[in-house]
Structure 1
Amino acid sequence: MPKFRPLANNLETARLRMRPWTPADSTSIRRLWEERDPRALRRIDSDGRPTVEEFRTNIENQLAESALNGLELLAIETKHDGEFIGYCGLVVGNSTLDEPEIAYELFKHAHGNGYATEASRAVLSAAQDTGRTRLWATVRAWNLASFRVLEKVGFVDSGKVDPDPVRGDSVWMTWPALPSGHN
């Protein structure tokens, strides 16, 4: 019997629908990567890679992995028009399957509307339903907007930092808060 239940993969909030990615989302996800800050680790390279087809393959692989580990990134769509505006969900990332990371990314035109906070709250609620009691987030020190979202939904600085003089230090946030002195 699995230790945790799978993350629910169809979530709704007042303004958003969140659903599993489909291969058809590959064009939108590639556009999202094109908008990334130059300091981001994964970006479209000078040869134009990853391509839409490579994103399609990545999505198919992630869906297969999600079926095995119960974690998933969900496409975020606005209810009023069905527009794909980004993604939010849980990944192993730099952490573990037992205490995964929350991850989210929205198109720049969707910033400033509270969508990342709304989607993150829905994912946190779904994460609790899996039986998990602690989640992580790693955020580059320069990404102030992401820190604001995480703080709004209850994440706190864990005190752990992975130094990176090129791309910016990675700060580990945790939810719920760790006891004092625990890293």
Structure 2
Amino acid sequence: MIETERLIVRPWREADREPFFAMACDPEVMRYLLPLNTRAESDERIDSLMAMQAEHGHCFWAVERREDGRFLGFCGVVIPREPIWEHEIGWRLARDAWGQGYAYEAAQASLDWAWRHIDTPSIMAITNIENTRSWGLMERLGMRRYPEEDFEHPSVPVGDPLRPHILYRIHRPQ
């Protein structure tokens, strides 16, 4: 568990399933992401994150607000996997949590945790090229874009506007 001034970044709980699915049903939250069309797909995503946590000690963790325990979304670092074979930081917050600095706070805390606990020279992040909010956060975190590593995401159908992805990376602090 990671605690910041306003947030708790923690392993998933059964109680997170409903608000996670509600977030997945918000078209603005999912605008640049492949949809989770059913509650079963949403639950499978949480199950896979819980399994990753159990096996590796980290995942995209649940994020809750300290003052009231409200589920806000997720943030964390996942193990290397397709299509990029590096540790990846990622986040997703409910729309009513946007614009309050929560994503930055959770992501910075996740990076700090990763540098202390994961032996990796760098951590990357990816997003759809149109997702300016996400890559803006990457830049605020000190990440740098590597345009020569932009790619077509293989999980997104050819021709889909979500397919073009950009890659940002941050190197371990000296």
The correspondence of residues 30-179 of structure 1 with structure 2, limited to 5 A, is 30-37=21-28, 39-45=31-37, 49=38, 51=39, 53-91=40-78, 92-93=80-81, 94-96=83-85, 99-130=86-117, 131-159=119-147, 160-163=149-152, 165-168=159-162, 169-176=164-171
Equivalence for 1:26: 17
The AA in structure 2 aligned to 1:162 is F
Distance 1:95 1:69 in 2: 18
Deviates more, 1:117-126 or 1:21-30: 21-30
Rg larger in structure: 1
Indicate the SS of the match to 2:146.
Answer: strand
Deviation at 1:132, TM superposition (A): 2.2
Distance 2:70 2:15 in 1: 13
* Residues matched between the structures, number: 161
Indicate the SS of the match to 1:125.
Answer: helix
Query: C-alpha deviations, 1:32-80, integer Å up to 9, x for none?
Result: 11124465342133xxx2x1x5533442343223222333111111111
Indicate the SS of the match to 1:62.
Answer: helix
Deviation at 1:162, TM superposition (A): 1.1
Indicate the SS of the match to 1:167.
Answer: coil
Equivalence for 1:180: none
**Can you give the 5+ residue segments of structure 2 that lack an aligned partner in the other structure?**
153-157
Deviation at 1:165, TM superposition (A): 4.4
Indicate the SS of the match to 1:32.
Answer: helix
**Can you give the 5+ residue segments of structure 1 that lack an aligned partner in the other structure?**
1-9, 178-183
RMSD across aligned C-alpha pairs, in angstroms? 2.1
Contact 1:29 1:55 in 2 (8 A): yes
Contact 1:23 1:60 in 2 (8 A): no
Contact 1:154 1:176 in 2 (8 A): no
What's the % identity of the aligned pairs? 27
Change (3 A) 1:39 1:114: closer
How high is the TM-score relative to the length of structure 2?
A: 0.82
